[in-house]
Amino acid sequence: MKNLNTLSRTSLLSLSALAASALLTTSGASANILSNPGFESLSSTTAANVLNNFTGFQNVWGIEVGNITGPALGVTPASGARMLGMTDDGLTYTQTFQAVDVSSYSALINSGNANVNASALFNTNGGYIGAFAIVNVMFFSGSTFGSMLGNSGNGALNLDANPNTWESASVTAAIPVNTTWVVYQVAYQNASIGNNTGFVDQAYMDITAVPAPGALALLGLAGITARRRR
């Protein structure tokens, strides 16, 4: 009986240690998995190329209407020498995309405990109060648009009218199991930028582990067991 108790205590301690290490991992540093996140390289392609061929145009910005530019229209890049500028495409939103293969995160994603965190800085030249900008991540089970599993929802904001300030939008969402590709998106609502240009800089996306409810429950269970022993 004593041996059994010892064994079970050891197991619980191991589980507690595992849970604690999971929590430590969650709070650890994470890395931006976007390429050219500050738009310092002029390399880009069309939005249609990215959306129609994730594999062939992965890790490059696919711009609907706009270009990577230096200081323009009285707006200075938030960092470095360049930024993305987007103009009205004549439809509802003007968008820029980047497809990223996340299959190296499959173990974490398929455990159901992966979050995507996405953000970007936005600014316009126009002095139009309320320009509406979003950051969004779409999830796919394969390398085609038709394999979409869902999206993060929009991290959205209404910009101020000051071209000297950059505003941040961000979103965090659970990544669906079976996701192997994601497409990061920044966009401006056309009606809200009018004839102005919507700028973006410091795009960011990472994937982090969230503490599994099971691990937290085990921590609690270990605590109860310890109290009962006393």
Task: Please give the residue ranges that form the binding site for Ca ion (CB under 5 A).
Answer: 38-39, 77, 79-80, 83, 123, 160, 162, 165, 201
Q: Which is nearer to Ca ion, 196 or 208 (CB)?
A: 196
Give the integer Cα–Cα distance in Å for 145 and 141: 9
DSSP structure string for 180-199: -EEEEEEEEEHHHHTTS-EE
Using the minimum distance from each CB to Ca ion, give the nearer residue, 96 or 208: 96
Half-sphere exposure of 226 (CA within 13 A, CB side): 11
- The DSSP call for residue 75 is B
In the complex, the smallest distance separating the C-beta of residue 166 from Ca ion, rounded to whole angstroms, is: 6
CB of 12 to Ca ion, least distance (A): 50
How far is Cα of residue 27 from the mean position of the Cα atoms in its chain? Answer: 16
DSSP code for 91: S
CA nearest neighbour of 108 among 56, 185, 179: 179
Would you say 80 or 130 has its CB closer to Ca ion?
80
Closest contact distance (angstroms) between CB of 68 and Ca ion is 9
Residue nearer to Ca ion on the CB measure, 113 or 123: 123
Find the shortest distance in angstroms from Cβ 144 to Ca ion.
Answer: 31
Q: How far is the CB of 134 from Ca ion (least distance, A)?
A: 16
Q: Which of 215, 4, 206, 218 is nearest to 104 (CA)?
A: 206
| Between 200 and 207, CB nearer to Ca ion | 200
Q: Is 175 exposed, middle or buried (0-12, 13-18, 19+ CB in 10 A)?
A: buried
Is the Cα dihedral 76, 81, 84, 86 positive or negative? positive
Q: How many residues does the chain have?
A: 230
Shortest separation between residue 115's beta carbon and Ca ion, angstroms: 26
Three-state SS at 173:
strand
Cβ closer to Ca ion: 62 or 77?
Answer: 77
